């Protein structure tokens, strides 16, 4: 068994030589000033021949480097690298693609589909893109903090344009790589400036939250959130756990449409959550991935964030435009840090920029321009709100139809009404792993193994089929 690989890096002035033929031919050292080494090593019964050829040529004042590196290997350095498990959410889409059955249904990732189960590009996005094309804008780097017009628009959308924190310059806003990248940047900030603090996350939560804080080396623990007995919020448990956490913790909260449960606190419960966070000198850290997409109203879905800000608290908020503007792959979002003084906001922003620079340097421009154009133009802004209502409305219709189908078909008397009280694009069905496996293996319904289904990937026409699959899995699989 003999594998070989060849890498050639050469300056234009030094035409590449076929490094592989040199090495495999086993010849002599090449060129003036050439240097060559041959290494033969026995590792685990394999044999490595590694040869490299470094030619340095001098030409007038210019110094051209030519590095020829060739590997002829039957052993690897990557023996100790195990295969990572598929991502619990995005891996579902990969498995779905590989299934050739016509009945297959992808309810894994939270991505909006039309009634024909096709991806949807919002009309306002197309209009904004046409405007951008007409303007013929360039592709110069953005500043590290992102597009100024986007940062202004995104903070105003979140907090409300008249919010004193904006008027007083107390918000540090940085355009970042959608919700995930914004969370990751804030996690790096917490790790750097509050290395002793831990982040409290809900149990359960969006699967990637734990990865984000783990990779940023931020310790976290869970607070109770979901009560399987009531299929509702374990409010007492939540409050008790936030209260018991060390003073000065960061409390990660889903701004609206909690993922995966679809269960949000009531306005009164939000007040009590704010009370205990304030008492314990914790810092609220909102993940807002669904503003406008949950209720259909941008303002309603920002209620929780604005409540905490109104109380004068310092707050972190990560924002995403993946769902509400359907800009999934544009990776557009922001991290906002509300500070108690403008001077603090400037300092925090400068440090966020410092963290972003070595991570990804500066953010992409296309999505930022779309958001800025849509939010900045009263006509497009109005049209966006209408389209958002339509998307949220379609999900609500599907939710109702699924409930109707389940209630009509299931003769066991089970109460399926929890589906109607959940909000957002997901339903947390209560199906366990084995039951979720049955949904996929027998019914070709792809979903995450925690029992979550994305209603945004469901059509009215498929509700009866899905109800059959759920009833079978729920009653016939333990």
Residues 411, 413, 418, CA angle at the centre, nearest 5°? 115
User: CA 27, 33, 35 angle in degrees (round to 5)?
Assistant: 50
DSSP calls for 210-226: HHHHHHTT--EEEEE-E
The binding track of 149-188 with respect to ligand PLA, each residue x by CB under 6 A or -, is -----------------------------xxx--------
Q: Does residue 68 bind ligand PLA (CB under 6 A)?
A: no
- 31 close to 77: Cβ distance less than 8 angstroms: no
Q: Which of 229, 234, 189 is nearest to 213 (CA)?
A: 189
CB of 322 to ligand PLA, least distance (A): 4
Give, as ranges, the residues between 342 and 401 that touch ligand PLA (CB under 6 A). Answer: none
Specify the residue, 335 or 345, whose C-beta has the smaller distance to ligand PLA. Answer: 335
Pick from 175, 399, 200, 415: which is nearest to 294 by CA? 399
Residue 465, SS3?
helix
**How far does Cα 23 stand from its chain's mean position?**
45
In the residue annotation, 450 being an active-site residue is answered as no
Could you report how far apart the first and last alpha carbons of the chain are, in Å?
Answer: 47
Catalytically annotated residue among 22, 55, 127, 206:
206
Task: Exactly one of 22, 323, 349, 449 is catalytic; name it.
Answer: 323
103 token code pair: 């009945």
Residues 245-284 that bind ligand PLA (CB under 6 A): 254, 259
Phi, psi of 370 (to 5 degrees): -60, -50
Closer residue to ligand PLA (CB): 71 or 455: 455
Please say which residue, 66 or 284, places its beta carbon nearer to ligand PLA.
284
CB closer to ligand PLA, 320 vs 429: 320
Strands 226-227 and 232-233: antiparallel
Of the candidates 96, 119, 175, 132, the residue with the CA atom closest to the CA atom of residue 368: 175
Contact string 188-227 vs ligand PLA (x = CB under 6 A): ------------------x-x-------------------
Of the pair 160, 333, the CB lying nearest ligand PLA is at: 333
Residues 103-132 vs ligand PLA: string with x where CB under 6 A? ------xx----------------------
The torsion region of residue 281 among left (phi > 0), alpha (psi -120 to 50) and beta comes to left
Would residue 206 show up in a list of annotated catalytic residues for this protein?
A: yes
Count the residues of the shown chain that bind ligand PLA, applying the rule CB under 6 A: 16
Q: Is 241 a catalytic residue?
A: no
**Residue 333 touching ligand PLA (CB under 6 A):** yes
Q: Per DSSP, what are the bridge partners of residue 252?
A: 285
CB of 453 or CB of 467, closer to ligand PLA: 453
Candidates 19, 23, 51, 89; binder of ligand PLA (CB under 6 A) is 89
Q: Which residues form the interface with ligand PLA (CB under 6 A)?
A: 89, 109-110, 178-180, 206, 208, 254, 259, 287, 289, 320, 322, 328, 333
Which residues are known catalytic residues?
206, 287, 323
């Amino acid at each position: 068994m003999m594998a070989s690989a060849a890498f050639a890096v050469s300056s234009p002035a030094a035409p590449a030589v076929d490094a592989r033929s040199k090495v495999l031919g086993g010849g002599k050292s090449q060129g003036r000033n050439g240097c060559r080494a041959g290494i033969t090593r026995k590792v685990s019964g394999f044999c490595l021949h590694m040869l490299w050829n470094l030619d340095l040529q001098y030409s007038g004042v210019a110094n051209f480097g030519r590095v020829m590196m060739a590997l002829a290997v039957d052993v690897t350095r990557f023996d100790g690298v195990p295969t990572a498990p598929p991502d619990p959410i995005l891996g579902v889409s990969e498995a779905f693609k590989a299934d050739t059955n016509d009945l297959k249904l992808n309810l894994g990732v939270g991505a909006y589909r039309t009634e024909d189960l096709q991806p949807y590009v919002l009309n306002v996005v197309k209009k904004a893109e046409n405007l951008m094309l007409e303007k013929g804008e360039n592709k110069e780097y953005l500043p590290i903090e992102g597009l100024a017009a986007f940062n202004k628009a995104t903070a105003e959308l979140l907090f409300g344009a008249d919010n004193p924190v904006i008027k007083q310059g107390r918000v540090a806003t940085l355009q970042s790589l959608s919700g995930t990248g914004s969370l990751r940047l804030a996690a790096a900030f917490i790790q750097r400036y509050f290395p002793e603090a831990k982040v409290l996350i809900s149990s359960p939560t969006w699967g990637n939250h734990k990865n984000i804080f783990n990779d940023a080396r931020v310790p976290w623990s869970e607070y109770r959130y979901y009560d399987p007995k009531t299929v509702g919020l374990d409010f007492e448990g939540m409050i008790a756990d936030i209260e018991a956490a060390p003073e000065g913790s960061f409390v990660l909260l889903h701004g609206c449409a909690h993922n995966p449960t679809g269960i949000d606190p009531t306005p009164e419960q939000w007040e009590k959550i704010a009370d205990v966070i304030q008492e314990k000198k914790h810092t609220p850290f909102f993940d807002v991935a669904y503003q406008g997409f949950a209720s259909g109203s941008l303002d309603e879905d920002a209620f929780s964030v604005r409540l905490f800000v109104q109380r004068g608290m310092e707050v972190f908020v990560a924002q995403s435009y993946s769902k509400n503007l359907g800009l999934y792959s544009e990776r557009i979002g922001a991290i906002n840090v509300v500070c108690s003084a403008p001077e603090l906001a400037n300092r925090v922003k400068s440090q966020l920029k410092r963290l972003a620079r070595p991570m990804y340097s500066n953010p992409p421009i296309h999505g930022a321009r779309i958001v800025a154009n849509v939010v900045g133009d009263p006509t497009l802004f109005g049209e966006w709100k209408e389209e958002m209502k339509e998307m949220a409305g379609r999900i609500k219709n599907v939710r109702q139809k699924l409930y109707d189908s389940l209630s009509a078909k299931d003769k066991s008397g089970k109460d399926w009404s929890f589906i109607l009280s959940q909000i957002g694009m997901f339903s947390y069905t209560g199906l366990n792993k084995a039951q979720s496996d049955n949904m996929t293996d027998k019914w070709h319904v792809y979903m995450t193994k925690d029992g979550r289904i994305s209603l945004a990937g469901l059509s009215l026409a498929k509700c009866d089929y899905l109800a059959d699959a759920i009833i079978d899995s729920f009653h016939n699989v333990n």
